[in-house]
Amino acid sequence: MRHEIIKENDLIFLILDERRRWLVQVKSGEKFHTHRGIIEFNDIIGKNFGSVVFSRPFETQGYKFYVLRPIPSDYILHMSRKTQIIYPEDAGLILTYSGIGPGSRVIEAGCGSGALTCIIGNFIRPNGHVFSFDISQKSLKRAKLNIKKAQLEEVVTIQYGDILNDDLQQENVDAVVLDMATPWNAVEKVKKYLKFSGTLISFSPTIEQVKKTVSAMKTGDFIEINTYELIKRKIQVKENATRPEIRMVGHTGYLTFARKIKDIKNPYREQKPKIQEKINMNGMPLRD
């Protein structure tokens, strides 16, 4: 059995309990301060992922912390962020319904804090690439830091860009993800970037945005247009007290998917008869 060793600059998922957990980058000689003591990174480097570490000073603190390798949902829920995020259940649907996988080339318009960018970046490695754009300098700065912590700089490019007005200088990408206020205005724009049979994905928090986006897709060269809402409910499992948790995220957003096609009119089934056809009803048994 191969065990993965924690190395300098690795990103770890540090867990104290159900509520207190952090994404932390380990650096030799540095420390991570918590209200339950200090975590020395030198106590972690060289250990296996899945190990435990105890907070210093041992005599007065000595709390147990668990050290795990981050998985995609950890990036989403625990990375540094200021904007609304796309939740793990939505990210999972995006990956499944878009066909994004190893080697895919993806444009993301609206990177936010880079949560979804990290998820996609993990899935398209090692030969794919994510080209992520945003018009907010604060979002770009935060997303770049999160991408660096996740060690995805080789497969993710974060840069300023307005998909409505700028030429993003890409072509034949496998998928385009829109996380913006007016996605319907971008539908026509993205067609030149997206390859035929590629997937356009739009995330919107309100149904009014969805209606306008779907309408724009229907008038463009897109088929297989579907919108979904996912609601996830966590179950509290205790002896003699297993039930749904009281608090939950009731609504995250709406996800709309569409596939680009090269459409032409049907020269056969759409033909109009040359001679106007009439139906003779004489002699037919009709009811009054």
Q: What are phi and psi of 160, to 5 degrees?
A: -70, 140
Number of CB atoms found within 10 A of residue 132's CB:
27
Q: Please report which residue ranges of 79-128 form alpha helices under DSSP H.
A: 88-98, 115-124
Give the whole-angstrom CA distance, residue 116 versus residue 87: 8
- The single-letter code of the amino acid at 90 is D
CB 139, CB 111: distance < 8 Å: yes
Residue written as token pair 């300023």: 160
The pLDDT of residue 112 is 87
The DSSP annotation for 228-263 comes to E------EE--TT--EE-S-------EEEEEEE---
Can you tell me the mean pLDDT for 80-107?
A: 86
Q: Is the pLDDT of residue 14 over 80?
A: yes
Q: In terms of C-beta density within 10 A (0-12 exposed, 13-18 middle, 19 or more buried), how is residue 172 classed?
A: exposed
Q: Is the pLDDT of residue 82 over 60?
A: no
Can you tell me the mean pLDDT for 28-55?
A: 94
The pLDDT of residue 247 is 84
The pLDDT of residue 57 is 92
pLDDT digits (tens, 9 = 90+) for 200-235: 999 999 999 999 999 999 998 999 999 999 988 889
Q: Is the pLDDT of residue 78 over 80?
A: no
* Domain residue extents for the chain: 11-68, 72-260
Distance set, CA 219 to CA 183, 198, 222, 260 (Å):
14, 17, 8, 12
Q: Is the pLDDT of residue 3 over 70?
A: no
Domain 72-260 has CATH 3.40.50.150: yes
Domain spanning 11-68, CATH class: alpha beta
Residue written as token pair 């149904």: 207
Q: Is the pLDDT of residue 2 over 60?
A: no
The pLDDT of residue 170 is 94
The pLDDT of residue 232 is 86
The pLDDT of residue 202 is 97
Q: Is the pLDDT of residue 267 over 50?
A: yes
The pLDDT of residue 77 is 76
Q: What are phi and psi of 138, to 5 degrees?
A: -65, -45
The pLDDT of residue 1 is 44
The pLDDT of residue 30 is 94
37: three-class secondary structure by DSSP:
strand
Whole-model pTM: value is: 0.78
Give the chain's mean pLDDT: 89
Q: Is the pLDDT of residue 121 over 90?
A: yes
Distance set, CA 210 to CA 109, 119, 199 (Å):
17, 24, 16
Higher pLDDT, 75 or 210: 210
Q: Is the pLDDT of residue 277 over 70?
A: no
In this prediction, residue 72 has a pLDDT band, given cuts at 50, 70 and 90, of confident
Higher pLDDT, 19 or 211: 211
Can you tell me the mean pLDDT for 231-250?
A: 88
